[in-house]
């Protein structure tokens, strides 16, 4: 299921325009049938008075758990709606597959927000509909769950396919719910989110969000020099700290992959292959960070990470003319030998005391594995609280506070 990309429809500009017009008319008709509203624009609705992009809070954050009002983790009840080009939504499918939950939680890749003005669709499916629910738009599940919803429908979204309602779009914690509440259905004993160290992992993840995961968007959507400069500095300063951390740690918390590594990896992949084209001057490419680049290639060598790493570029025919400079995407991107460039030499294994294993394993009982998942302040309704520089962490990110503590028995 390929991500919808208007540039890949046809190499002829005239044909491309005609096809886009046809698609737009088609989805306008579907939207009228279903009462779907036009997707809100980030640069109109999520910019503060300094020109800073302050991402909307997630609207569907009810946890999975055992308390009154919580959702119950049930097999074959929920489906992950995600998109190839959305690193937020690559996270839960990677986590699900690592833990062996593919037969418990289904998934579908949407065709992005490019088909018309109405957001994520199912353009590549039969009749352009989600085969599980008959929906034309991701936003239909939001309206079903919260009539009158006027925010952006985003990926990932976990949908109850029985009620056809969105139940969770909290990318800050969705992978944690999968790791914890669905553990009794796991086919493996892999532990990405060890009980004893969840506080440290959560704190790191909540630092990673504004400084790395969301920093690209802060640069891309910000409407002032101040906003751009802040995001640029935050991103590259954070990379410097993590470059230092990975000098002596194979993964972010030591010898084994944790939930945090999934979050860092997917952003690095998108930045190195796509995002940097949008934001302006670069201080460095990811490939210029010795330790981070080795870390990326180490993870890419693991089949589940490779499965959700997408080097998708339209095969464009570049016809240069006087006064016209084709973009990198037009001239070069589809020719890059990514598979070759991303091969690991295995050298990072020497940083591990258990070099042949990348996962922590635990025989802890399902009951003992259950803890209440912390609430992320990045979902606070107040835009002031969600200011991207309103971030703190108790241990310098260049230091691994769990060094030597994650051990397989």
| pLDDT bucket at 112, cuts 50 / 70 / 90 | low
| pLDDT bucket at 288, cuts 50 / 70 / 90 | very high
| pLDDT bucket at 18, cuts 50 / 70 / 90 | confident
| pLDDT bucket at 316, cuts 50 / 70 / 90 | low
Quick one: average pLDDT of 300-312? Answer: 94
For residue 236, the model assigns a pLDDT of 96
Residue 225 has pLDDT above 70, yes or no: yes
For residue 9, the model assigns a pLDDT of 44
Contact partners, residue 278, CB within 8 Å, separation at least 6: 216, 219, 220
Where are the CATH 3.40.30.10 domain residues in the chain? 6-178
Where are the CATH 1.20.1050.10 domain residues in the chain? 194-379
Contact partners, residue 48, CB within 8 Å, separation at least 6: 54, 383, 387
Quick one: average pLDDT of 390-409? Answer: 95
| pLDDT bucket at 7, cuts 50 / 70 / 90 | very low
CATH number given to 194-379:
1.20.1050.10
Read off the tokens for 216.
């690209």
Contact partners, residue 324, CB within 8 Å, separation at least 6: none
The sign of the torsion formed by the CA atoms of 296, 299, 303, 307 equals: negative
Distance (Å, whole) CA 409 – CA 405: 12
Give the pTM: 0.93
For residue 92, the model assigns a pLDDT of 98
| Contact (Cβ atoms closer than 8 angstroms) between residue 264 and residue 208 | yes
Contact partners, residue 196, CB within 8 Å, separation at least 6: none
Quick one: average pLDDT of 204-226? Answer: 95
Contact partners, residue 218, CB within 8 Å, separation at least 6: 52, 53, 210, 227, 228, 230, 231, 234, 388
For residue 41, the model assigns a pLDDT of 87
| pLDDT bucket at 117, cuts 50 / 70 / 90 | confident
CA dihedral 348→270→19→12, nearest 10 degrees, is: -70
Residue 78 has pLDDT above 50, yes or no: yes
Number of neighbours of residue 310 by Cβ within 10 angstroms: 18
Residue 5 has pLDDT above 70, yes or no: no
Number of neighbours of residue 253 by Cβ within 10 angstroms: 25
For residue 114, the model assigns a pLDDT of 47
Closest CA to 8 of 259, 316, 275, 285: 316
Listed in sequence order, the DSSP H helices in 222-373 are 225-245, 259-270, 276-279, 290-300, 303-307, 328-331, 338-341, 366-369
For residue 174, the model assigns a pLDDT of 97
Residue 3 has pLDDT above 60, yes or no: no
For residue 314, the model assigns a pLDDT of 64
For residue 4, the model assigns a pLDDT of 42
| Contact (Cβ atoms closer than 8 angstroms) between residue 60 and residue 156 | no
Distance (Å, whole) CA 159 – CA 153: 12
For residue 14, the model assigns a pLDDT of 67
Read off the tokens for 144.
């079903």
What is the full DSSP assignment across 166-197? EEE--TTTHHHHHHHHTGGG-SS-B-SS-GGG
Distance (Å, whole) CA 208 – CA 216: 12
Strand ranges, E, within 48-141: 78-82, 106-109
For residue 32, the model assigns a pLDDT of 94
For residue 111, the model assigns a pLDDT of 87
For residue 113, the model assigns a pLDDT of 46
Quick one: average pLDDT of 3-13? Answer: 45
Query: What percent of the chain has pLDDT above 90?
Result: 78
Residue 205 has pLDDT above 90, yes or no: yes
Mean pLDDT of the chain: 91
Distance (Å, whole) CA 315 – CA 312: 9
CA distances from 41 to 113, 121, 153, 377 (A): 11, 17, 11, 23
For residue 8, the model assigns a pLDDT of 41
| pLDDT bucket at 21, cuts 50 / 70 / 90 | confident
Q: What letters, b where the CB count within 10 A reaches 16 and e where it falls short, cover 335-345?
A: eeeeeeebebe
Quick one: average pLDDT of 384-391? Answer: 94
Residue 323 has pLDDT above 70, yes or no: no
Question: Under CATH, which architecture does the 6-178 domain have?
Answer: 3-Layer(aba) Sandwich (3.40)
* Strongest mean pLDDT among 14-18, 278-282, 308-312: 308-312
For 204, phi then psi, to 5°, come to -65, -45
Read off the tokens for 130.
């989600």
| pLDDT bucket at 2, cuts 50 / 70 / 90 | very low
Q: How far is CA 2 from the centre of its chain?
A: 17
296: left (phi over 0), alpha (psi -120 to 50) or beta: alpha
Read off the tokens for 295.
């870390």
């Amino acid at each position: 299921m390929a991500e919808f990309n208007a540039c890949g429809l046809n190499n002829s500009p005239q044909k491309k325009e005609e096809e886009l017009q046809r698609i737009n008319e088609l989805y306008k008709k579907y939207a009228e049938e279903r009462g779907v509203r036009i997707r809100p624009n980030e640069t109109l609705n999520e910019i503060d008075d300094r020109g800073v992009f302050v991402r909307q809070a997630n609207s569907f954050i009810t946890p999975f758990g055992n308390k009154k009002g919580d959702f119950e983790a049930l097999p074959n009840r929920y489906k992950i709606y995600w998109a190839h080009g959305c690193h937020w939504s690559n996270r839960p499918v990677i986590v699900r597959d690592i833990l062996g939950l593919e037969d418990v939680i289904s998934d579908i890749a949407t065709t992005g927000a490019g088909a018309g003005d109405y957001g994520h669709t199912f353009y590549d499916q039969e009749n352009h509909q989600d085969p599980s629910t008959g929906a034309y738009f991701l936003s239909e599940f939001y309206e079903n769950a919260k009539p009158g919803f006027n925010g952006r429908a985003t990926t990932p979204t976990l949908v109850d396919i029985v009620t056809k309602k969105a139940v969770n779009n909290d990318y800050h914690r969705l992978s944690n719910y999968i790791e914890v509440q669905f553990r009794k259905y796991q086919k493996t004993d892999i532990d990405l989110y060890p009980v004893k160290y969840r506080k440290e992992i959560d704190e790191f993840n909540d630092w990673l969000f504004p400084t790395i995961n969301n920093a690209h968007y802060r640069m891309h959507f910000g409407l002032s020099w101040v906003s751009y400069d802040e995001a640029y500095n935050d991103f590259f300063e954070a990379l410097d700290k993590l470059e230092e951390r990975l000098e002596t740690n194979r993964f972010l918390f030591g010898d084994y992959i944790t939930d945090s590594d999934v979050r860092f990896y997917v952003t690095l992949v998108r930045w190195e292959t796509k995002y940097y084209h949008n934001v302006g001057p670069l201080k460095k490419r990811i490939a210029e960070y010795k330790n981070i680049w080795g870390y990326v290639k180490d993870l890419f060598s693991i089949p589940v990470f490779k499965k959700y790493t997408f080097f998708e570029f339209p095969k464009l025919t570049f016809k240069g003319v006087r006064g016209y400079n084709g973009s990198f995407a037009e001239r070069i991107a589809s020719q890059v030998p990514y598979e070759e460039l991303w091969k690991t030499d295995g050298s990072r294994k020497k940083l591990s005391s258990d070099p042949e294993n990348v996962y922590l394993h635990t025989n802890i009982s399902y009951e003992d594995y259950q803890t209440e998942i912390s609430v992320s302040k990045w979902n606070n309704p107040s835009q002031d609280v969600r200011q991207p520089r309103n971030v703190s962490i108790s241990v310098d990110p260049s230091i691994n506070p769990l060094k030597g503590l994650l051990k397989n028995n």
